[in-house]
Structure 1
Amino acid sequence: MIDRIRTRESFERLRREGRRVRVGPIWCTYVHDPSVTTPRVAFAISRAVGNAVVRNRLRRRLRAILADSDVPNGLLLIGVRPPVVELSFDRLRTTLEKLLTQL
């Protein structure tokens, strides 16, 4: 189960305390918080990645991968760079799982 980041305070905390990790075209800012019962995730996907259809498809794929993965408790801001659209679903999964292991 994964929840969404909804508050401004959470985004400010990510900016202040977050640790950034990057694997290929995917990056993540992470704040470990044991008080969070389910991981909270937000996505940063710019228009440079593609039109709304492409961005929404990518967001759905990332959510599906995260739902099946072992995501650590805390706050995560996951972002991508434009080359991510060239990755297949399996390649996207391995890249994101590699990123999660580095957290």
Structure 2
Amino acid sequence: MLPATARLTRSEDFRSVTRRGRRAGGSRIVVHALAEEVQTSASPRVGFVVSRAVGNSVVRHRVVRRLRHVVRDRLGTLPAGSSLIVRALPSAAEASSAELRQDFDAALRRLRLRANNDGGES
């Protein structure tokens, strides 16, 4: 579970990140990121989008749980004040946690969002 301060929940925030932020993605996920200079003391915030195209309710919730776990382990590597949206694509339904982790790390590298390079496992 992500701490409450690390969750992106308001629809206005989701809209702002997807419209004004940069994005990088692969075959299973797309990451939208917006770095706010104003909130440099705030912790990074993350939201998830998993549409019905990914699968039924059970599959969607499994994908969200896996993505949440991946993001939780990397929350400390994200810049303070940044906002991320992780959008699952239909192929995420068959992906393992390791594959989702690789896709998320690759997206972060493309976005150059790592605050430090101690990411550990890749």
Give CA deviations for 1:55-77 in whole Å, capped at 9, x if unaligned: 11111111111111123331111
Q: Distance in 2 between matches of 1:80 and 1:8?
A: 17
Give structure 2 stretches of 5+ with no counterpart.
112-122
Q: Is the 8 A contact 2:23 2:30 kept in 1?
A: yes
Q: Which amino acid aligns with 1:58?
A: V
Give structure 1 stretches of 5+ with no counterpart.
none
Report how many aligned residue pairs link the two structures.
103
Q: Distance in 1 between matches of 2:9 and 2:97?
A: 27
Are residues 1:32 and 2:35 paired? yes
Q: Distance in 1 between matches of 2:49 and 2:72?
A: 18
Give CA deviations for 1:23-65 in whole Å, capped at 9, x if unaligned: 2221011100241521111111111101111111111111111
Q: CA RMSD in A?
A: 1.8
2:57 aligned residue (43, 52, 55): 52
Q: Is the 8 A contact 2:32 2:85 kept in 1?
A: yes
User: 1:1-103, aligned counterparts within 5 Å?
Assistant: 3-34=6-37, 35=39, 37-69=42-74, 70-73=77-80, 74-103=82-111
Q: Point out 4+ residue stretches in structure 1 off by more than 6 angstroms.
A: none
Q: Is the 8 A contact 2:25 2:103 kept in 1?
A: no
3-state secondary structure, aligned to 2:107: helix
Instruction: Specify which structure has the higher proportion of strand.
Output: 1
Do the aligned partners of residues 87 and 32 (structure 1) sit closer, same or farther apart at CA in structure 2, a change above 3 Å counting? same
Relative to the length of structure 2, the TM-score reads: 0.74
Relative to the length of structure 1, the TM-score reads: 0.86
3-state secondary structure, aligned to 2:79: coil
